[in-house]
Structure 1
Amino acid sequence: NNWFGEALLKGAIARCRTYQYELFVVDGGTLENTYEWEYQRNKLYTMIEKDSIDALLVANVFGIVSQTAAYQFLARYSGIPVVTLCEKFPGIPAVRIDNARGFRDLVRHLVEVCGAKSFAAITGPANNFDSNERLKVMREVLGHYNLTLDPEAVICADFSDQGAKLGIEVLLDERRRKFDTLVCFNDQMAVRAMDELIRRGFDIPNDIKVTGFDNTYDSLYANPPLTTVHNPVEELSMTAVDVLRDLLHGKAAEELTVLHTRFVPRLSCGEAYVNITAPRFSPSVLDESAVAPTLTGFPEAALGWAEKVLLQSTVEIGERQKNWFREVWKTAAHKLLSEAGPQLHQFFVKTVFADRKNEWSAELWVAVADELYLYTLQLSAEDRERLLPTVLCLHNTVRMYRNSYFVNSLLQLHSLQRLLFIMGETLASLFDLDKVGEVLEQYAVQLGIPTCFVVGFTDASRTRARLIVCVEEGRNRDVTRFRDFPSRALLPKPLLDKYPSLTMNSLHVREEVFGYFFINTGDHPGILYESLRHQLSTAIKGTQLVSTVNRYSAGLEQMVQERTEELRTVNQELTNQIERREQAEKELLKQKNLESLSLLAGGIAHDFNNILTVLSGNLSLLKETDADAAYRRNRYELMRKAVANAKALTYQLLTFAKGGMPVKKTMLIEPLIEETAKFILHGSRIKPEFDFSGETLSVDMDHHQISQVMNNVILNAVQAMPNGGSLVFRVRHEQTPE
């Protein structure tokens, strides 16, 4: 996802296509990167088995690890051809770039031509091989001119935009350093540093001169254009594939192949061009010891340049295109010797650049024009004077069109970023794994990824996986038959056999890796890899979180339902218990009522028996005795009272049966007690005694019911004293609490 990575992959892809090799790319980041988002990507490397590949090309993944860790990583692939880039390990062929030559020319130029006196540097990581080599060269060259690089003026960064901004802040705000020249160890940091310095009010290059390293497009179009060192990154990976090819064919390979850098001066260091239209090359590019060429050998040399450019090209070129390029260049070379610049310009416009389908060849024409310019510089003065105007015209023509194509590519990149943004918004609000494939299908062809597979782990140990998305030829395919397979297989075998050239990237958040995805290996812009990684990771993790919330919600709802059902059951049981208790109480009350009724019936029978006894006894006396009228009246009065008592008892029974209220009257209670006692005890062996204390009491009462109560109490006393005795009746007035 940076210029170096893009260029490296571009060169490897181009060379693999030349040899018809299948290139499987694993984008697992720098080993042991402490940045948590990058650290998770390292897990991809553990999934690649040496039995599944024929050879291994290891890019710059060892930038911050120890030699021991690097050896442990490489040991897993012993037995197959391995080539490393940038760093050399004993016994393993390596291809790397010589930082010294071009960088040495840059520092010399700053001192000798630009008059630099005080330096500051923003380097790469402290344990990065390339960064350390550049820093060593810089100190050596400055020492040659009796200049020093103060350690306080050196900032270790990470080759990123943010690293450059922080570096400027430390130099100017914290350490208060003053310097007239800032050397950045890559173009990305240099461009960002220039922006920050300009924002702070510095004039570039009058106040501070700024240089970079890599010669990216950004350096060419920066304002002012950035002085830099050309870094042959694409050639680096192409050469590495060449070495692998030799190893695969059993040929011996050089332990170390070194590619050279070259200095590219521009306006950011203060040197203005004498002829701004002429390309500039460092002195080291020209071989001064070689025999000067002549125009006689020009046609043959021109054809050689064409083959060299085609061989080094990172553009995918078919045989038909190669033959077209050779024929056009052959014709142009002949015209170059016989026609002026304007005529050659028109030839290229009509033959090459009028058809936008020939955009692919723009870089080839710039490369062959550079070769032509170098050749022209080495001609004799007479031949050079004759040929140089036409060569410069050709050089400007091809660069002009190349630049217009570059601007167009920037517009296309902007469109790509817009598409990625729209797709990202859609994925972020999806929350449905089954629909991720439908979204990718909408944008796959426009994004240049007609092939895309998304895989998710299905267990905590990451040993099993399922296919979430399968996009083939831009169409979303059914994935139900690939719901389970071992993650070490990377993909189901039918898909892996069908698509051996893929680029693999991880799906992760800061603390968790939950899958990976593949897209077709190709010359994609770096932003595509990073955007897809973050968008797919966000979409899948978001879906998982929503699923978890829904699952917990459903579980909570189920729990509530279960608890509610339990409460309903308990409540029903309690209700049943209450009903059973009420029923039991009713039964008990009924039983008590029956007992009470039995007692009532007994009492009534007893009372009526007493009444009937009085009536029967008095009637017998009246019948058997011939008493006087007074005696008879007394007996009749006793019989009348007995009948009255019977009437009162009947009244009470009716009141009880109807649930009526007693009929109360205010009356003296003593006479009622005395009358009732004498009536009941008459003719018995029990003598009543009355203790009323001379106090009469008026009471609100139903005298029939009170009389009945007294009857029952007296009868109970009579039954308790079969041998006779005294029954005492006392009446007192007592004050009781409410």
Structure 2
Amino acid sequence: MSFKELLNRNGRRTIALLTNITNTYYDYRLFRYIHNAALSHNANLVTFNSCSLDSTLNYYYEYQHNLMFYFPHTGIIDGLIFPPSMVINYSTKPHYQKIIDRLSSIPYITLSSSCDGHPGIFIDNSVGFREVINTLYHNQGKRLFAFIKGPPDNSESSERYQGFLDGLNDCGIGLDERYVFQGDFWLTGGYAAMKEFDKRNIPRPEVIICSNDYTAFAIYKELVARGWSIPEDVQVVGFDNTEDSRFCNPPLTTVNQPLEQMAHTAVELLLQLIDGKEISQRTVLPARVIYRQSTGFGSYNFPIKYKYDPLSIILEPRCREFALKWLQTLPVLKRDQLISSFVDMLQKTLDEEMDVSVWEDFPMIVMQSYPEVDSSLIDSLRLFISMYSGLQQGVKLTQFRQNNLVNAQVVHRIISTFTVEELQQCISEEITKRGIHYFFMVTYPEPFELSIDSQKNIPLRSRYLFGSVNGNMVQRKVHTSFFRTMDLLPLDIELPDKPLSLLVMASFFREMQLGYMIFDASSDEEQVYAILGMQISTAYRGILIFNEKEKKEQALKSALNQLKKSNRKLNELSVCDSLTGLANRRGFMLLGQKIFEATQRQGKGILIFFGDIDRLKFINDSYGHEAGDLAIKLCAEVLKKTFRKSDIIARIAGDEFTIIAVDSRDCDVEQIEERLKENMSALNQTSGYSWKISISMGHALSSDFPEGSFSELLARADHLQYEQKKRKHRS
């Protein structure tokens, strides 16, 4: 039995999606539509969160998700939905061609871009910007347009730029290449374009057209920073109609892509392709302009009467049905009845969790369709749309705050776990609160480093760490934790017999690949998977480090216990200095060598200090040898006070001291030297003797001399002490 057969019970098919749901709202929205479409067709969906190939735009370690490109194969899925832009936008041709070649054995449908002759669903990318330029030219007399492109090798970017050129040509405006800038479909492209604009020292454009909304968001920030007003000084246009585009200040004119229609069409065609049916190689869906205040338009002043069906301005199909029925009653119902039925439509929109903002242009449709309608009715429609839109945003804000509170509690509990058992218990109890009903954690036999340039290879075997279904822990039927990675999950794991939507995410910490996680993808909270995926991976990496640390500490503890026994034996061999009670030279060399060897085995560092009392001969000659002995004893007391009880302090000659500080680093030296200075100063101020004591110190860190012996390390510290003493003498 294969993983695909495990899922494909009762005639179901399993399709997959490669996407990036953790970084952009656009991709998340498309994922949700494909999720809904797959389940409505009784199909399983396995979504691999691969992110864009070789991209580090959102954060440096984003490329770690790219390992997901190597998971899809015909043993676990029947077909694939694949946006080629994910591999093309930020990678090199040899690299992305390798990924495309690897996927070629799987029946797949592409989204928005063509790829090696596979069937695709496309958006008419050129018509939107062409219409915008014509509208702004003919209605407002705009002539100076700037354009910010998308990634160079992206077909959508090229088509949108062609629409820009076609619009200029329609209006008889020549292309001024000084106003064309390279972007990347992200905020960074907008920031870079405005920096380049400053360098070119050209007049301010009247309109900036951006290849997508994220670029436009960056342009908003840059224009505000320059003190330019939108749309009075510069107008801005985006593409994609992301949710945030409505809530910019002012709202952003943009081009809407019919993502829901694209998702359902892709799923339907892919299922037909899997069943061996002939399908169209190229399906093109229309895009349409959403005019908003960033180009000086709003619901009170549409630029033109729409040449297409006015109701197409309402993007939600169910709301279009409501609107059509309401318009049919307009000539027969009284004003109060019309308002009441319209409020019912708004309430239904809210109850069914559709976007109330789709109604924002409906009053203008009514005015265009029925010019004789009473203006007070139009005003009432606008008022209630505004009220319900505000109510919906309030509900969303409340949900967002509540989700944040719950997420914070879940995250705190996850990162507080110290064992795999605690992590499993925590996840089993907590993920159901986030609407996630099943979860599986799979780890590789050993974590491995993965750089952006390194060869991507999936380990042949993986370890099933734990799983949870509806809050109940899921154990394997066989007494082994290992299975073939290509199976995605152990084939003896029982999964619910219904259409499933699984989200597969890489588990990593910085450059270290740990394994992967499989989530139930039914939660509609946008950020929950990104948050949980990151925190679970971080917690698991912490558990591994904690376990490694415990093993090393146990080994070091054992070694130190052995050293204590050796220390007792050394005391029996008269290894103590009679004047100070410290170890003498013989004791120090024997004990120091053992400590050095033990810490080397455990990967711990030691600091060796070599000190020499300054001007001890002067004290002896001027005040007598009793004063000299006292100075030595006082210096020993200062060193005991300065260093830890676990550190080894010895007097190895008349005025010479050595210290071993175990498990110390170079950054600890400054603190030690400061304590020594303070303690020595306090002694000199309170001793009441006419002479003062000081000590010259040198130090050496074992990690700086990985091949050096204990004696060589000691000689290095002695040399540095001697150099310090010479400097004191000269000064």
TM-score, with length taken from structure 1:
0.63
**2:303 is aligned with 1:309:** no
Over residues 163-187 of structure 1, what are the superposed CA-to-partner deviations in whole Å (9 max), with x where a residue is unaligned? 4334334433686763332222222
Deviation at 1:412, TM superposition (A): 1.4
Distance (Å, rounded) in 1 between the aligned partners of 2:376 and 2:107:
49
The equivalent residue for 1:269 is 295
Secondary structure of 1:508's counterpart equals strand
Deviation at 1:439, TM superposition (A): 3.2
Distance (Å, rounded) in 2 between the aligned partners of 1:435 and 1:214:
43
The equivalent residue for 1:535 is 535
**1:401 aligned residue (388, 394, 398):** 388
Deviation at 1:202, TM superposition (A): 1.4
Secondary structure of 1:526's counterpart equals coil
Secondary structure of 1:214's counterpart equals coil
**2:80 is aligned with 1:31:** no
Distance (Å, rounded) in 2 between the aligned partners of 1:51 and 1:101:
41
C-alpha change, 1:370 and 1:264, in structure 2 (3 Å) is closer
The equivalent residue for 1:360 is 352
Distance (Å, rounded) in 1 between the aligned partners of 2:139 and 2:313:
32
Over residues 178-233 of structure 1, what are the superposed CA-to-partner deviations in whole Å (9 max), with x where a residue is unaligned? 33322222223313321332233211111211111112222222211111111222
Distance (Å, rounded) in 2 between the aligned partners of 1:354 and 1:235:
24
Over residues 269-300 of structure 1, what are the superposed CA-to-partner deviations in whole Å (9 max), with x where a residue is unaligned? 23465x26xx777745359xxxxxxxxxxxxx
**2:535 is aligned with 1:505:** no
**2:185 is aligned with 1:159:** yes
Deviation at 1:29, TM superposition (A): 1.0
The equivalent residue for 1:45 is 69
The equivalent residue for 1:438 is 425
The equivalent residue for 1:462 is 459
**2:489 is aligned with 1:491:** yes
Amino acid at match of 1:12: I
C-alpha change, 1:252 and 1:308, in structure 2 (3 Å) is farther
Amino acid at match of 1:485: F
Aligned-residue CA RMSD (Å): 4.1
Over residues 464-503 of structure 1, what are the superposed CA-to-partner deviations in whole Å (9 max), with x where a residue is unaligned? 3334442322455668967333322222224464374211
Map 1:552-563 → 2, pairs under 5 A: 552-562=552-562
Distance (Å, rounded) in 2 between the aligned partners of 1:154 and 1:368:
35
Secondary structure of 1:459's counterpart equals strand
Instruction: Name which of structure 1's ranges 511-520 and 173-182 shifts more when overlaid on structure 2.
Output: 173-182
C-alpha change, 1:67 and 1:399, in structure 2 (3 Å) is farther
Deviation at 1:43, TM superposition (A): 0.9
The equivalent residue for 1:285 is 308
The equivalent residue for 2:282 is 256
The equivalent residue for 2:408 is 421
Deviation at 1:150, TM superposition (A): 4.5
Distance (Å, rounded) in 1 between the aligned partners of 2:218 and 2:377:
37
Amino acid at match of 1:110: L
Distance (Å, rounded) in 2 between the aligned partners of 1:186 and 1:249:
36
The equivalent residue for 1:472 is 469
Instruction: Name which of structure 1's ranges 141-150 and 496-505 shifts more when overlaid on structure 2.
Output: 141-150
C-alpha change, 1:439 and 1:30, in structure 2 (3 Å) is same
Over residues 245-281 of structure 1, what are the superposed CA-to-partner deviations in whole Å (9 max), with x where a residue is unaligned? 32234321111111111112221123465x26xx777
Over residues 535-559 of structure 1, what are the superposed CA-to-partner deviations in whole Å (9 max), with x where a residue is unaligned? 2222222222232222222222233
The equivalent residue for 2:88 is 63
Instruction: Name which of structure 1's ranges 522-531 and 250-259 shifts more when overlaid on structure 2.
Output: 522-531
Amino acid at match of 2:51: G
**2:43 is aligned with 1:17:** no
**1:234 aligned residue (242, 260, 285):** 260
Secondary structure of 1:507's counterpart equals strand
Kept after mapping to 2: 8 A contact 1:366/1:395: no
Amino acid at match of 2:460: T
Deviation at 1:520, TM superposition (A): 1.2
Amino acid at match of 1:62: V
C-alpha change, 1:150 and 1:416, in structure 2 (3 Å) is farther
Distance (Å, rounded) in 1 between the aligned partners of 2:215 and 2:78:
37
The equivalent residue for 1:91 is 117
Kept after mapping to 1: 8 A contact 2:436/2:523: no
Amino acid at match of 2:54: E
Kept after mapping to 2: 8 A contact 1:359/1:405: no
C-alpha change, 1:512 and 1:212, in structure 2 (3 Å) is same
Secondary structure of 1:24's counterpart equals strand
C-alpha change, 1:29 and 1:19, in structure 2 (3 Å) is same
Distance (Å, rounded) in 1 between the aligned partners of 2:493 and 2:383:
48
Sequence identity, in percent?
24
The equivalent residue for 2:338 is 344
Secondary structure of 1:112's counterpart equals helix
C-alpha change, 1:135 and 1:390, in structure 2 (3 Å) is same
C-alpha change, 1:148 and 1:439, in structure 2 (3 Å) is farther
Kept after mapping to 2: 8 A contact 1:264/1:281: no
Deviation at 1:30, TM superposition (A): 1.4
Deviation at 1:95, TM superposition (A): 0.5
Distance (Å, rounded) in 1 between the aligned partners of 2:73 and 2:228:
53
Secondary structure of 2:75's counterpart equals helix
Amino acid at match of 2:277: K
Over residues 34-66 of structure 1, what are the superposed CA-to-partner deviations in whole Å (9 max), with x where a residue is unaligned? 564122111122122212211111124233245
The equivalent residue for 1:680 is none
Kept after mapping to 1: 8 A contact 2:72/2:103: no
Secondary structure of 2:208's counterpart equals strand
**1:82 aligned residue (97, 108, 114):** 108
Map 1:661-680 → 2, pairs under 5 A: none
Kept after mapping to 2: 8 A contact 1:121/1:183: yes
Secondary structure of 1:110's counterpart equals helix
Matched residues, number: 536
Amino acid at match of 1:15: A
Distance (Å, rounded) in 1 between the aligned partners of 2:250 and 2:27:
25
Over residues 282-322 of structure 1, what are the superposed CA-to-partner deviations in whole Å (9 max), with x where a residue is unaligned? 745359xxxxxxxxxxxxxx9x9999935xx9xxxxxxxxx
Deviation at 1:143, TM superposition (A): 4.2
Distance (Å, rounded) in 1 between the aligned partners of 2:37 and 2:469:
25
Kept after mapping to 2: 8 A contact 1:106/1:229: no
Instruction: Name which of structure 1's ranges 96-105 and 391-400 shifts more when overlaid on structure 2.
Output: 391-400
Instruction: Name which of structure 1's ranges 394-403 and 184-193 shifts more when overlaid on structure 2.
Output: 394-403
Distance (Å, rounded) in 2 between the aligned partners of 1:430 and 1:266:
49
Kept after mapping to 2: 8 A contact 1:341/1:393: no
Secondary structure of 1:263's counterpart equals strand
Deviation at 1:332, TM superposition (A): 5.1
**2:220 aligned residue (191, 194, 199):** 194
C-alpha change, 1:281 and 1:84, in structure 2 (3 Å) is farther
Distance (Å, rounded) in 1 between the aligned partners of 2:508 and 2:79:
28
Deviation at 1:431, TM superposition (A): 3.5
C-alpha change, 1:104 and 1:503, in structure 2 (3 Å) is same
C-alpha change, 1:255 and 1:217, in structure 2 (3 Å) is same
Amino acid at match of 1:533: G
Distance (Å, rounded) in 1 between the aligned partners of 2:325 and 2:133:
41
C-alpha change, 1:85 and 1:550, in structure 2 (3 Å) is same
Kept after mapping to 2: 8 A contact 1:63/1:129: no
Secondary structure of 1:220's counterpart equals helix
Q: Which has the higher helix share?
A: 1
C-alpha change, 1:518 and 1:410, in structure 2 (3 Å) is farther
Q: List runs of 5+ in structure 2 lacking aligned partners.
A: 1-22, 448-457, 576-731
